[in-house]
Amino acid sequence: MDKFDSAILDLLAKNARQPLAAIGEAIGLSRTAVNDRIRKLESQGVICRYTIERGDTQEQQSVCAYFELTFRPFDLPTVKKEIKAIVEVRQAHALSGTTDVLVFVEARSMERLTQVRQQLAELPQLEKIVTSTALEQLV
């Protein structure tokens, strides 16, 4: 990854819907070159998905939760693949200790959060799931 790829990632992080020509103009590349680089970053897994950020209105507030997952046996590649497929997952970490994976989920509603929890509960070899709903973001 070079300086152009880094600049493209920075611009997409600010606004993933901006035209390729605008990105190219900002960094000094043609629209075609920007398109080729974005496709390459996608195929390499550097860009995994595009998303939106909702405005901060009362009815658009998201619901967040942490899920502690314990597997017996723990098959990291399978678990990683399954968790990556859930779009509401914002972070997931393999841990040492009694919990194998800690997953942070941000959903649009409590109903959707419950659906995500059910998806996680159906993961192969899952022995235990502990759900902690986030009440308030402190930092």
pLDDT in tens, 76-90: 999 999 999 999 999
| Measured torsion, CA atoms of residues 105, 107, 112, 116, in degrees rounded to the nearest 10 | -20
**Which residue bears the tokens 């970490």?**
93
List, in order of start, the domains of the chain with CATH numbers: 3-43 (1.10.10.10), 58-133 (3.30.70.920)
- DSSP letter at 44 equals T
pLDDT above 70: residue 53: no
The answer to whether the CB of 65 falls within 8 A of the CB of 121 is no
- What's the pLDDT band for 48 if we cut at 50, 70, 90? confident
In whole angstroms, what is the distance from residue 86 CA to residue 1 CA? 27
Which has the minimum average pLDDT: 5-9, 18-22, 60-64, 99-103?
Answer: 60-64
